Amino acid sequence: MFEFDTANAEKRQRRELLLNGAWLGILYGLALRILANGHLAGFEVMSLGFIGLMPFAVGCLTIYFAEVERAQPLWRWFIIPWLPMVGALLATMLVLLEGAICVVLFAPLALALSSVGGMAGGLAGRFIRSRQARRATLACVMFLPFFTATWEKPVLHQLELRRVENVIDIQAPPEVVWRNIERVPAIGKDELPKTWAGRIGFPDPIEATLSHEGAGGVRNATFERGLSFIETIDVWEPQQRLGFTIAANTATIPPTTLDEHVRVGGEYFDVLRGEYRLEPLGNGVTRLHLSSEHRLATDFNWYAHLWTDAVMSDLQWRILQVIKGRCENQNHSPQRAQRSAERDYFQSA
């Protein structure tokens, strides 16, 4: 019985140590987010110091304090840092510092780096014996996210132009496809496939109007929640190519439509151009290409471009699915009507 009680006490103590470390990590991460919101001494959210070093520090501190008090299993070094990291991310949403989109885009990197920090914290807690050295290590880790604040942007900030293309084969001739891309009438909810980008909060497309045919025509592309774009046609080759520049109508987009850090036409991201290209394959089949170009400007494009490319590809794929469904329905309807008329004629004869 004594051994059983001792084992339970040890489990409770370990759990308390981990929970205390987790709470420390949550408070530390939330405090850094609040400081980043104020751009203190050049420290901001869209920086390598916050995006990269903050999760590392959260994981390191969480495991370090637990390891100093009692040796932890190695697997906990990697997994337990996720608890404060998720807690800090949820806390930023609760206090309205971040929206779901930014949290989802940041989470994979944050969890991975917090695990790396947990490993570093475990090693430091286990092998650094001097109290003075431990204090110095702790101070260095806590201030690590601020290390890049003064020099990061001139050295790491990059402006990059990205291109994304999606392709779909449509059972309809080019003239039918062309009619469905020069203008896009209002899209019904049942026409749009559900995708991950829509589920995390990116607005659904609604329609695209056209002022007049030919180069210089203006398409007004509207999305849910007030998001809209002015698309000026600069390539008009009927049944072959339709190209246009894109400008976000920032004056009319509500600030709550997208998070500040993923806002179209904002400091970090903008969509610049789009183009449809039709490729006849024969036998009444048309291959439709939809491509876009966007601007990306961060200190960590190596990570950000994975998401911007994925979001643009997701949107384009959804639009192509709508066009495919409409074209194939329109193409098959006359054929069905003709077959029905022929059948009625021979039956009456």
Tell me how crowded residue 346 is: count the other CB atoms within 10 A of its CB: 8
d(CA 291, CA 275): 5
Per-residue pLDDT tens over the stretch 219-269: 999 999 889 999 999 999 999 999 999 999 887 777 777 777 888 888 999
Res 3 pLDDT > 60? no
pLDDT above 70 covers what percent of the chain?
89
- Separation of CA 180 from chain center: 28
Mean pLDDT across the stretch 77-96? 87
pLDDT over 70 at 345, yes or no: no
- pLDDT for residue 338 is more than 80: no
Neighbour tally for 212: CB within 10 Å: 8
* 343: pLDDT strictly greater than 60: no
What's the DSSP call for residue 130? -
**9: DSSP letter:** H
- Mean pLDDT for the stretch of residues 98-107: 89
Q: What is the pLDDT confidence band of residue 10, given thresholds at 50, 70 and 90? A: low
Task: Show the CA angle centred on residue 86, arms to residues 83 and 90, nearest 5°.
Answer: 135
Distance CA 313, CA 180 (A): 20
The chain-wide mean pLDDT, for the chain, equals 87
Q: What is the 3-state secondary structure (H, E, C) of 190-252?
A: HHCCCCHHHHCCCCCEEEEEECCCCCCCEEEEEEHHHCEEEEEEEEEECCCEEEEEEEECCCC
269 phi and psi angles, rounded to 5 deg: -150, 140
Residue 60 has pLDDT above 80, yes or no: yes
Higher pLDDT, 74 or 129: 74
pLDDT at 160 over 60: yes
Cα separations in angstroms, 22 against 34, 64, 114: 18, 11, 12
pLDDT at 233 (0 to 100): 97
Q: Which two tokens stand for residue 270?
A: 């903008």
- pLDDT score of 339: 44
> What are the chain's domains?
2-154 (no CATH), 157-344 (3.30.530.20)
Average pLDDT of the residues in 132-141: 88
Q: 349 by DSSP, 3-state: which?
A: coil
Q: How large is the average pLDDT for residues 130-150? A: 88
Residue 189: pLDDT over 60: yes
Question: Is the per-residue pLDDT at 337 higher than 50?
Answer: no
Residue-wise pLDDT tens digits, 281-331: 999 999 999 999 999 999 999 999 999 999 999 999 999 999 999 999 998
Residues comprising the chain, all counted: 349
Angle among Cα 262, 116, 201 to the nearest 5 degrees reads 20
Q: What is the pLDDT of residue 332?
A: 72
Contact 138, 125 (CB under 8 A): no
Instruction: Answer yes or no: are the C-beta atoms of 63 and 72 closer than 8 Å.
Output: yes
Nearest to 202 by CA among 252, 246, 264, 244: 264
Q: Residue holding tokens 């942007």?
A: 153
Q: Is the dihedral of CA 315, 320, 323, 329 positive or negative?
A: negative
Which has the higher per-residue pLDDT, 28 or 8? 28
Phi, psi of 102 (to 5 degrees): -65, -40
Distance CA 41, CA 294 (A): 30
pLDDT-derived band at 70 (thresholds 50, 70, 90) equals confident
Tell me which DSSP letter residue 38 carries. T
Can you give the pLDDT at residue 39?
74
- pTM attached to this predicted model: 0.85
